[in-house]
Each structure stands twice: as C-alpha cells, then as structure tokens.
Amino acid sequence: MTNIEQKLKELEITFEKVEHQAVYTVEEAKEKVPQIAGLGCKNLFLKTKTKEYFLYTLPEDKIVNLKELSKKLGVSRFHFASPESLEEILGVIPGSVTPLAIINDIQNKVTVVLDKELKGKKVLVHPNRNTATISLAYEDLTKLIKSTNHEIIEI
C-alpha cells in the first residue's frame, strides 16, 4: 500500500484505483488508462518570480491562460516550475503531478488551486506515480488536502 492509499484509508476516503502503463500527458492517459469513473484532470505546478508555488488542478480539456490565472489570484505572472522544484517540494516527477502530492509538501510552500468545474464530481488523479490512477469524490480530495494544512483556492 502506498503512502497515498494509507492516508486515504486513515481519512476514511473511498476510492477506486487502476494500474496501467506510465502516462505523461492527458492525451496518453485517454489512450492507456483503463476505463474508470471520473473526470480526468490536468495538474500544473506553477511558480511566480517571487517563488510562490501553486498547484492548479482543472478538467483535462480546459484551456488555461496563465496571465489571466495570475490576475485572478492576485500574484505576479506564472511560469512552470522546474522538474527539480517539483521533485524537491512535491516528491514527484513530471507526468506524475497530482494534488495528492501535497502530502509531501511538509514546509507548506504550495497553494492548491482547484477549478470550480470539478466540484461535486468524481475526479481522476495519480497516486504520486503515473502508473496508476485513482478515482475519488472532489469533496474527499479537498478533505485530504485540508488534512495537510494547505490552503485551497477554488476558481
């Protein structure tokens, strides 16, 4: 059992999991992930020039304008954070980015941003590795994030 699965069980969160080939993009996931109930998500690990970090989770088909997103959040313009920062702060590699990785941010450096379109739905996310996918309710995802003392912004 992975640390994510352990944490979900501790919080009494029900989830479904499927194993699959490694996937690195939303497009690959659509082709290679076995059918599982839920809305596919994409996850962007972003930073500002002042080194504020944000993890933005949104529906897989939604297009993001980073300039508009930074304005909505009231921060300087976003850039994609480096793979090194991703691994150092969230403990995952590119292709495995997931809001579940927030459990690894013990210094609380990351603000979690969730798209309101996910609210009330089952969402599909990786359990910190891109060779499996977990389906869980949005409310349970927020329960896990809040259990780590991270701020959640819904936009």
Identify whether the C-beta of residue 47 lies closer than 8 Å to the C-beta of residue 81. Answer: yes
Report residue 152 CA to chain centroid gap.
12
DSSP-assigned beta bridge partners for residue 54: 46, 111
Confidence (pLDDT) at 1: 58
Name the CATH superfamily, with its identifier, for domain 3-154: YbaK/aminoacyl-tRNA synthetase-associated domain (3.90.960.10)
pLDDT in tens, 46-91: 999 999 999 999 999 999 999 999 999 999 899 999 999 999 999 9
pLDDT of residue 32: 78
Please count the residues of the chain.
155
Residues 36-47: b if buried by 16+ CB within 10 A, e if exposed: eebbbbbbbbbb
Give the predicted TM-score (pTM) of the model: 0.93
Instruction: Give the chain as a DSSP string.
Output: --HHHHHHHHTT---EEEE-S---SHHHHHHHSPP-SSEEEEEEEEE-TT--EEEEEEETT----HHHHHHHHT-SPPEEPPHHHIIIIIS--TT---GGGGGG-TT--EEEEE-GGGTTSEEEE-SSSTTEEEEEEHHHHHHHHHHTT--EEE-
In this prediction, residue 125 carries a pLDDT of 95
Q: 87, 89, 88, 67: which is closest to 76 by C-alpha?
A: 67
What are the extents of the domains in the chain?
3-154
Percent of the chain with pLDDT over 70: 99
- Show the low-confidence residues of the chain (pLDDT under 70): 1
Question: What confidence score (pLDDT) does residue 27 get?
Answer: 83
Nearest-angstrom CA–CA distance, 152 and 155:
10
